[in-house]
Amino acid sequence: MSIDRPIKRDKRPILIILHQERSSPGRVGQLLADKGYSLDIRRPVLGDKLPTTLENHAGSVVFGGPMSANDPDEFIKSEINWLDIPLKENRPFLGICLGAQMLVRHLGGKVQSNADGSTEIGWYPLRPTEKGRLLMHWPKMVYHFHREGFDLPHGAHLLAEGDTYPNQAFRYSGNAWALQFHAELTRVMMHRWVVHGAHRFILPNAQQGREHLEGRMLFDAPLKAWLTEFLDIVFEGKTAKAVPGSIAALSA
């Protein structure tokens, strides 16, 4: 009978990059704190400087926001250029929604809306690819709030797909990960998004507010369980036990 060794946590803080004054790392921040990490929260849009190296951090997370990775704002361009640091230093990096799209732009891919203007605002099905299934079990439904998608960058491994925007999750060059969907929302955050984002519910393919909240009751528990495990994979290199194969298979 084998005995699992406890995960040895990196004691350095994780860099958290947010894009609005009242933005929060939400459940991602809560889970990372529960796992023993401290958080170094910075908001470049408000003038916070980003580090010139991640040698003093255990990794980084770039979150979403209402802006586009295609916007001409200087902080957008600077953040996209800054992504060269985690990539060159091969440090754990997670991009969520806008953060994922910034990574795509950095890697030379396109970020754009569908020709028909369709959005993903609400709960939509998620399908893991073969490489994704080797990594871990994935939730069947995930939460979205976006109207742009992205190309799969050259050299990236697609981990999960969707219907409206096909590319939903990928891994690049070992330690860089990207998610189009939001697993980080707490209940309070979702209520706030539903209130402040209600004007977007008229957009093509968007769900109404009640569907967002009803979907949370149905789908949030497996999404939270997935996120807990996924963060260990990203920041600790832990292989999920429930799925045959290993993370190493993704590099093949």
What pLDDT, on the 0 to 100 scale, is given for residue 3? 43
What pLDDT, on the 0 to 100 scale, is given for residue 52? 98
Residue type, 246: S
The two tokens of residue 7 are 């995960």
What pLDDT, on the 0 to 100 scale, is given for residue 10? 67
* 112 burial type by CB count under 10 A (0-12 exposed, 13-18 middle, 19+ buried): middle
- Which phi and psi angles does 66 have, rounded to 5°? -75, -10
The two tokens of residue 178 are 């990207």
Q: Across the strands, what pairs with 157?
A: 171
How far is Cα of residue 111 from the mean position of the Cα atoms in its chain?
15
CA quadruple 135, 11, 92, 38: dihedral sign: positive
- Report pTM: 0.91
The set of residues, in sequence order, having a beta carbon less than 8 Å from that of 28 and lying 6+ positions away, is 61, 63, 94, 96, 183, 184, 227, 231
- pLDDT, tens digit only, all 252 positions of the chain: 334 455 556 689 999 999 999 999 999 999 999 999 999 999 999 999 999 999 999 999 999 999 999 999 999 999 999 999 999 999 999 999 999 999 999 999 999 999 999 999 999 999 999 999 999 999 999 999 999 999 999 999 999 999 999 999 999 998 999 999 999 999 999 999 999 999 999 999 999 999 999 999 999 999 999 999 999 999 998 765 444 444 444 444
Task: State the DSSP string of the chain.
Answer: ---PPPP----SPEEEE-SSTT---HHHHHHHHHTT--EEEE-GGGTPPPPS--TTSSEEEE---SS-TT---HHHHHHHHHTHHHHHHT--EEEETHHHHHHHHHTT--EE--TT---EEEEEE-EE-HHHHHH----SEEEEEES-EEPPPTTPEEEEE-SSSSEEEEEETTTEEEESSB----HHHHHHHHHHTGGGGGSTTPPPHHHHHHHHHHHHHHHHHHHHHHHHHHHH-PPPSSSSS-GGGGG-
The span from the CA of 12 to the CA of 55, in Å, is 9
What pLDDT, on the 0 to 100 scale, is given for residue 252? 41
What pLDDT, on the 0 to 100 scale, is given for residue 9? 62
Q: CATH second-level architecture of 14-251?
A: 3-Layer(aba) Sandwich (3.40)
Among residues 108, 102, 70, the alpha carbon closest in space to that of 86 is found at 102
Residues in the chain: 252
What pLDDT, on the 0 to 100 scale, is given for residue 242? 45
